[in-house]
Structure formats: C-alpha cells, structure tokens
Structure 1
Amino acid sequence: MSLLVVGLSHRSAPVALLERVTVSGDALEKLLHGVSQSEHVAEALVVSTCNRVEVYADVDRFHGGVTAISDLLSAHSGMPQEQLGRHLYVHYEDRAVQHLFNVTCGLDSMVVGEGQILGQFRSALRLAQNQGTAGSSLNELAQHALRVGKRAHTDTDIDRAGASLVGVGLTLAERVIGPIAGRRALVVGAGSMSALSAATLSRAGVTDIVIANRTHARAVRLAETVGGRAAHLADLPAELAQADLVISCVGAGSRAVTAEMVMAAMETREPGGLFLLDLALPHDIDPGVRAIPGVTLVDLESMQQAGLGEGTGDGGHAEAITAVKRIIAEEVTAYLDSERAAKVTPTVVALRSKAAQVVEAEIGRLMSRLPTLDARMRDEVTQTVRRVVDKLLHEPTVRVKQLATSPGGDHYAEALRELFDLDPKAPDAVSGIELATLEADRRESDGRGAEQ
C-alpha cells in the first residue's frame, strides 16, 4: 500500500472555487466514507479548512486511487471533472509524506508558520479514527506528522514568520479604523476559529467582546474565556449597530450577516467606520456590504488577491523557514527509513519462527536418542543450540533491516525469503503480531549482538 494525496488549496485554486469544494459536518463524513469505500483505497483521512481540502489515502493503485478521489470531489462540489481537475494537485509516496509534513509545519499555509493547522489536522485525524477510516498506516503517519509540526514550532522561530489569519486581519482593521484596543468587537460563531479570534482580540486589548452564536450555551462558554458576553444570532442587527469590528467564522453555507443587517446598523450607529472580517468558507458576510458607505469588508478572497500572508515570513524570517525545511527533510528520511524497515520485519520474524521450529524439532529428536540425560544437561544442550542459531541469524537479520532502508530495499526481504525457503504466506501472517512482540524481538536481537 502507498500514500496518496489529492487536493486543492489557496495555492492552486481561487477562494471562490475552494468555497464550493470545502466540506464539513455530515458532508465531510459522507466524503470520508465515500473515499474509504473506493475499490483501491484501504484507509482515508480528509483535511478540510478555509484554505485547503485534501484527501489522504492508503491505496494499492495510483491511477485507480486518483480517479476515485477526483470523481468524489467533483460529485461533492457539483463541478465538472474537467474544471475541478485544473486545480487539483496529486502527491504520491515520498512526495506525499513531504507534502503532509510541509502542511503540519505551516509552510504550506496562507500565512507561513501559522500553528492552527496542527489543531485542524488533529481534528481530521480524530474524525477518521472515530469513523473507522484511518487504520494503522494513516494513524502512524498522522502521529508522526503532528510530532514534526510540533517540533518545527518548538525548535524554530517559524511562529514569528507570519501571524495567524486573524492577526493579519486585525492589522488591516487598524489601518482602517485605527487602534482596536478599547474598541467593541463582535465575533460571529463559537467554533475553533472563533475562539482563536476572541483570544487574539483579547490579547490586542479589546475589552468589550460579544460572541454571537446559534447555540447560546457555546457562546456563553467562549465569552467567559475572554471576559465578554454572549448574544443570540437573532440579536445580530442590534449588535452590529454597536460594534466597531466584526469577525465572522461560521461557514454554515448561508449568510450570517446580510447587507440589509449592515445597512440598518449603519443608519442607527454613531458616526464611524465598521470593519468586517469574514474568515469563513463558505462566506458568512454578504459581499454586497462593500457598497455601503463607511463599511470595509475583508475576506479570504480579498486577502488572497492582495497576497496577504503568502510571503509574510519569507523575508525577515528566512532562517526560520530554512530551519523548518531542514527539519522536514530529516523527518521525511527518518519516516521513510522506518517504513521500509517495517516492511522487512515480518520476513525477519518469519525466519526466526522457522529457525525456532527447526531447533525444537532437532532438540526433541536428540532427547529421544539420549533419554538418560538429566534435566540440567537437557537445559544446557537446549540453550546452547538456541544460542548458536540466534548468533548465526543475528547478523543477517540486522543487516537486512539496515539494507531495507535504502531504495529498492524490499528486494532484500524477497532474497531472504528465497534463500531460506520461507512460506510466502508466512510474513503476511506475522504482520498481525502485536507491535510489542516485534519490539521485544528487536531488543532481544540487539542484546545478542552486544554479547558477541
């Protein structure tokens, strides 16, 4: 099986197109199961954020996997394959692993170095686990990717290479309405992006924060974390009239903030501009508000067109980006080496199992010929024979694991099976053994090597 990535992001597609493809809730689960049930797919995980929709799959056929996933994305978005295909990218095997590590480290984000993608990827993994579409292969890869992302943020200054989308949006807000400290802010939604927005506002000195959400209890919980207050979505028209800054992060597919609401708010509010930041896909705020005097709307599409965030860290933080790229290169090599070594492990264990069977058979035959041997001598002879066989096998089995990490390393496992006449089905049967057992075998093997 091999890793395949099929997706599109802010780098390959306009925001308007991403808005049509982005998936959440029941639609996300439906897409996830659709991919996992495809003929050539064994495991699947879907990452869907405001900047990307990517399908990660463990496949046995490259072309079959690409076709199945592309067709599902086309069907979900209602876009013809010819139109969608121009914006899709495909990564396979080694390049797929490198792409994933780039994503979790924030190098592929609209704002270089942003850390929110780690939480989003973790949520995607959790969903795949809960839905039973992520097996051992994707679980292991995903956990490694999360560790790489955490290492990048811990060991380098990549966090400073670019602010979050919220931070970039607030910088734009201050250019329009002046300092936001002491202003009144309205956050529409109570999900993870809304929580990030509220926290960023609080750190920026905004002390009057209102959280409006369809589920009022969630709005109350989020408001309590920033010392703000909660409101119902039905209260939006009144809250808009009081706000200086609005951040909307619902993405439910309908307009949470309409032009009519904003128009009415501008007629009743005190003189001064209103800044609206739409961080949702699909968009929450009616783009028609741009025609209303005194209103400024910034959304993901306008940020993309202006190139905001794309190169935020490429200039002054080139060293951090270079350091992260170095980490990714190291981790890709380590992961691929581990994967190649793991593929030969069942063959090594099958060989040791066959050797153990031979030893037991020969010991049994010897003991039947020497019935007068006492228990102590029987044990000594048995242990001696076992040590001889183990020492003879130690070097070739350790060596084949090392060679397996090189390109074409799987041929060494085939050679081992041929040389020792192993049952072709034996490695497959062994692959079901618990990892703890295999690890114990490895430690035992290494210990014997130290004794020589």
Structure 2
Amino acid sequence: MSLLVVGLSHRSAPLELLERVALDGRRSRELAAGVVGLDDVSESLVLTTCNRTEVYAEALSFHGAVAQVGDSLAKATGVDLQDLTPHLYVHYEERAVDHLFSLACGMESMALGESEILGQLRDALRAGQEDAHLGTVLNPLFQQALRVGKRAHTDTGLDRVARSLVGAGLTRAAAVLGSLDGADALVVGAGAMSGLAAASLSRAGVGTLGILNRTRERAERLAEAHQGQVHDWSQLERGLATADLVLTCTGATDHVVTRDLLPDDRTERPLVIIDLAMPRDVAPEAAEVPGVTVWGLADLNGDGADGTATAEAGGGPDETEQVLAVVRELVAGEVAAYLATRRSARVGPTLAMLRSRAAAVADGELERLDQRLPDLSDAQRAEVQQSVRRILDKLLHTPTVRAKQLAAHDADGSSVALLRELFDLDARETAAVTTPPQVSGLP
C-alpha cells in the first residue's frame, strides 16, 4: 500500500475552475466517504481550502487508485473529468509526504508562510477521525504534518518574513485609504479566516469593527473576542454604505455582495472590499462602482516568480531566501524521518511471523524432549526451556536489528521480500500480523 495525493490548487488551475470544484464541509466528508469505499483505497481524507481541493488516500494500487479518485472528484464537484485532468496533480509516496509537510508550513500557499492552513488541516483531520476514514497511515501522517507546520513557525524565522492573505490585503487597503487607524471596518463571515481578519483589523487600530454573519451567535463570539460590534445579516447593505474597508469570507455558494447592495458612487469616500472567499463572495460588477476597489484571492497573490505572495513585511530577498532554505531543510529532514519510521514498521509483521515460526519449532522440539526424557524434574525442564528461549533470542536479535535498519532505507520493500523468501514466510501470513489502528487526539 502507498500514499497518494490527487488534487488541484492555485498553482495548477485558474481560479474560476477552483471555484467550481470548491466543496463545503458536508460535501468534503461525502467525497471522503466515497473514496474510502473504492476498491483500490483503504483510507481517505479530503482537504478543501480557499485555493485547493485535494484527496489523500492510502492506495492498494497506484493506477487503479488514481483513476478511481479522479472519477470520484469529478462526480463530487460536478466538473467533467476531461476538464479536471489537465489541472490535476498526482503525488506518490515520498513526494506526497513532502507535499503535505510543505503545505503545513505554508510553503504551498498563495501567501507564503501563512498559518491558516494549520487550522484547515486540523479540521480535515478531525472530520476524518470522526467519520472513521483514517487508519494507521493517514491519521499519524496528518498529526505529524501539524507538528512539522508548528515547528516551521516556532523554530525558524518564517513568521518574520511571511505574509498572510489578510496582511497582504490590509497593506493594499492602506495604500488606497491611507492609514487604517480610525477607519470603519466590516467583517462579513465568522469562520477561521474571518477570525484572522478581525484580529488583524483590531491590531491595525481601526475606528470601528463590525461583524456580520448569518448565524448571529458566531458573530457575537467573534465580536466579543476582538471588541467588535455585531450586526444582523439584514444590515449588510447599511454596513456596506458606512464602511471604509470590508473583508468578506463566507461559505456561501452564491455572491453575497452584489452591485445592487452598493451605492451608485463612492468617489468621495472610497470603499475597499477584500474578498477572501472561494467561491467569491463579491460579484464582479461590484468593482464597476466608482470609488469601490475590490481585490480577490488572485489579486492578493504576489508578484513572486513562483506564484506565492512576497514577504514585504520581513527582511529583503536575501533574508527571505535564507529562511526558506531553513524551512526546506526542516521539511526534508522530517520527510526522511517519517519515511524511515514507516519503512521500518513495514518489516514488523514479517519479523513477528519469523519469531512465531521459530517459537513453534522450539515448542515442537521441547515437546519431543519431554517424551524422550520423561524423568526430568520440573526444575530441569524449566531450565532447558529457558535455555532454548535464550538461544532463539540471541540468534534472532542481530537479524531483527539489521532488518529494521535495512527497511528504513528500503523504498521498494526488497529487503522485506528477501527476508520472507529466506525463511519461507508467506506474505499473506505476515500481512495478517498487524496492529489495530490507533486513532489518537489532535496535537
């Protein structure tokens, strides 16, 4: 079995296609359930963010799983597979682990180094655990990815040079509005990204901070945390008329901010709208209103050659590259350690079967000894049994250690196959000697 990732992101697909394949929480869980029920998949997890949709799977076969996952993704999103295929990427085994760990560090995001992805990974992991779609591969893998992401932010200078989507938007807004100090701001939505927006606006010193959400209770919690004011959803038009800056990120599938909700002219008091949602919350024609500036995810994507937002808030290019080199080194080390651990674990069932086979041989010989020497005392018989066990342990100790060492660096499993061949161990028998899945809490 092998780890497989099939997906598309802002690096492989245009935003209009990403909007079409965006899935809400319910549909993501339905897709994961469908994938885990496929013939060539044993575990699955679906990750959907504002700029990516990815399916992670533990595949029983590579080609079969790729075809089945791609077909499931097309059916779940309603996008024809022929339209999806040119934009899909497939990562396998080591490359899949490297992709996930880099993703957790914010290295694959539109805004380089952003930390919002950790919350999105945590939510996807929790959903997979609750729905029992994870087992001994994806569950520990994603928990490790979260730890790697946290290390990148605590052990490197990533936070010093990284820019989030919200931060990039506020920088642009300040260029239009002047200082944000004293500005009237409105946050539409109350999810994780909206929480980050509210916190950033509060730190920027805005004059008023309004929170508006369809579910008032969630808006109240967000407002309380950041000294904001709660508005009813029916007050959206009024809020748009009085705000200087609007950040919107809802889970709506249709446009929330439309042309008819805006005044005819905002020239005298400019309005900046930052649309962080996917699909977009703001209708395209809203930007046609004089004095209204609208930026979406594509606009917040920086001018970097690799398609990631630049790190304007940190040091210069040299410092940024130095920090990124440290993060890449961290990821490479974590990937190597994870793969070594996983490969070593693969030899476990074979070693367990080898020890079981050796113990069975010893038991048979001890039984024959009992029949040939029935007059042995209990103490003598126990001493013989203990001696035989010690001999077995000493004989098997070095091969066990060497087998684990070889397996840690064995990408194709050839050393495990050789061990089974040498001792005539049936692969089906050894596969049955496994440990039940352990699903632990989130880190």
TM-score, normalization by structure 2: 0.92
Residue 255 of structure 2 aligns with which residue?
A: 255
**1:136 alignment partner, SS class:** coil
Name the count of aligned residue pairs.
432
Indicate yes or no: 2:103 matched with 1:100.
no
Residues 1:292 and 1:98: Cα distance change in structure 2 (over 3 Å): same
Residue 240 of structure 2 aligns with which residue?
A: 240
Give, in angstroms, the shift of residue 364 of structure 1: 3.3
**CA contact under 8 A between 2:104 and 2:118: conserved in structure 1?**
yes
What pairs with 1:44-123 in structure 2 (closer than 5 Å)? 44-123=44-123
Partner Cα distance (2:309, 2:198) in 1: 25
Residue 165 of structure 1 aligns with which residue?
A: 165
**CA contact under 8 A between 1:403 and 1:409: conserved in structure 2?**
no
Residue 281 of structure 1 aligns with which residue?
A: 278
**2:432 alignment partner, SS class:** helix
Give, in angstroms, the shift of residue 433 of structure 1: 6.0
What pairs with 1:336-347 in structure 2 (closer than 5 Å)? 336-347=339-350
Indicate yes or no: 2:358 matched with 1:355.
yes
Partner Cα distance (1:424, 1:244) in 2: 67
Partner Cα distance (2:420, 2:29) in 1: 42
Partner Cα distance (1:385, 1:306) in 2: 71
Partner Cα distance (2:237, 2:309) in 1: 37
Give, in angstroms, the shift of residue 378 of structure 1: 3.1
Residue 402 of structure 2 aligns with which residue?
A: 399
Residue 441 of structure 2 aligns with which residue?
A: none
Q: Which moved more, 1:173-182 or 1:312-321?
A: 312-321
Give, in angstroms, the shift of residue 156 of structure 1: 0.5
Residue 299 of structure 2 aligns with which residue?
A: 302
- Give the gaps of 5 or more residues in structure 2: 439-443
- % identical equivalent positions: 49
Give, in angstroms, the shift of residue 305 of structure 1: 7.9
> Which amino acid in structure 1 is aligned with residue 253 of structure 2?
G
Give, in angstroms, the shift of residue 207 of structure 1: 4.7
Q: Which moved more, 1:416-425 or 1:5-14?
A: 416-425
Indicate yes or no: 2:416 matched with 1:419.
no
Q: Which moved more, 1:394-403 or 1:138-147?
A: 138-147
Partner Cα distance (2:74, 2:407) in 1: 39
Give, in angstroms, the shift of residue 368 of structure 1: 4.1
Show CA shifts across 1:182-234 (max 9, x none). Answer: 22211001111111111111111225211101011111111000011111111
Give, in angstroms, the shift of residue 307 of structure 1: 5.7
**2:84 alignment partner, SS class:** helix
**1:255 alignment partner, SS class:** coil
**1:230 alignment partner, SS class:** strand
**1:83 alignment partner, SS class:** helix
What pairs with 1:113-262 in structure 2 (closer than 5 Å)? 113-262=113-262
Say which structure, 1 or 2, has more relative contact order (CA 8 Å, 6+ apart).
Answer: 2
**2:187 alignment partner, SS class:** strand
Show CA shifts across 1:262-289 (max 9, x none). Answer: 126x57xx94211100000111111211
Residue 447 of structure 1 aligns with which residue?
A: none
Partner Cα distance (1:307, 1:276) in 2: 23
Show CA shifts across 1:342-368 (max 9, x none). Answer: 111101011112222222333333344
**CA contact under 8 A between 2:183 and 2:208: conserved in structure 1?**
yes
**2:301 alignment partner, SS class:** helix
Residues 1:375 and 1:182: Cα distance change in structure 2 (over 3 Å): farther
1:317 to 317, 320, 337: 320
> Which amino acid in structure 2 is aligned with residue 43 of structure 1?
E
> Which amino acid in structure 1 is aligned with residue 177 of structure 2?
I
Residues 1:43 and 1:299: Cα distance change in structure 2 (over 3 Å): same
Partner Cα distance (1:29, 1:231) in 2: 31
> Which amino acid in structure 1 is aligned with residue 360 of structure 2?
Q
Partner Cα distance (1:306, 1:259) in 2: 29
Residues 1:310 and 1:413: Cα distance change in structure 2 (over 3 Å): closer
Q: Which moved more, 1:217-226 or 1:297-306?
A: 297-306
**1:425 alignment partner, SS class:** helix
Q: Which moved more, 1:3-12 or 1:32-41?
A: 32-41
Indicate yes or no: 2:330 matched with 1:330.
no
Show CA shifts across 1:70-116 (max 9, x none). Answer: 22333333333332212111111111111111111111111111111
**CA contact under 8 A between 2:247 and 2:276: conserved in structure 1?**
yes
Residues 1:311 and 1:244: Cα distance change in structure 2 (over 3 Å): closer
> Which amino acid in structure 2 is aligned with residue 400 of structure 1?
A
Partner Cα distance (1:60, 1:68) in 2: 12
Give, in angstroms, the shift of residue 422 of structure 1: 2.8
Give, in angstroms, the shift of residue 10 of structure 1: 1.0
Partner Cα distance (1:73, 1:413) in 2: 35
Partner Cα distance (1:394, 1:333) in 2: 25
Partner Cα distance (1:71, 1:425) in 2: 30
Show CA shifts across 1:237-265 (max 9, x none). Answer: 1112221110000031112111111126x
Partner Cα distance (1:417, 1:73) in 2: 38
**1:176 alignment partner, SS class:** helix
Residues 1:281 and 1:434: Cα distance change in structure 2 (over 3 Å): closer
**CA contact under 8 A between 1:10 and 1:304: conserved in structure 2?**
no
Partner Cα distance (1:304, 1:74) in 2: 27
Give, in angstroms, the shift of residue 430 of structure 1: 1.1
- Give the gaps of 5 or more residues in structure 1: 436-452
Indicate yes or no: 2:433 matched with 1:430.
yes
Partner Cα distance (1:407, 1:352) in 2: 22
Show CA shifts across 1:418-451 (max 9, x none). Answer: 322334433122114688xxxxxxxxxxxxxxxx
TM-score, normalization by structure 1: 0.90
> Which amino acid in structure 2 is aligned with residue 242 of structure 1?
T
Give, in angstroms, the shift of residue 372 of structure 1: 4.0
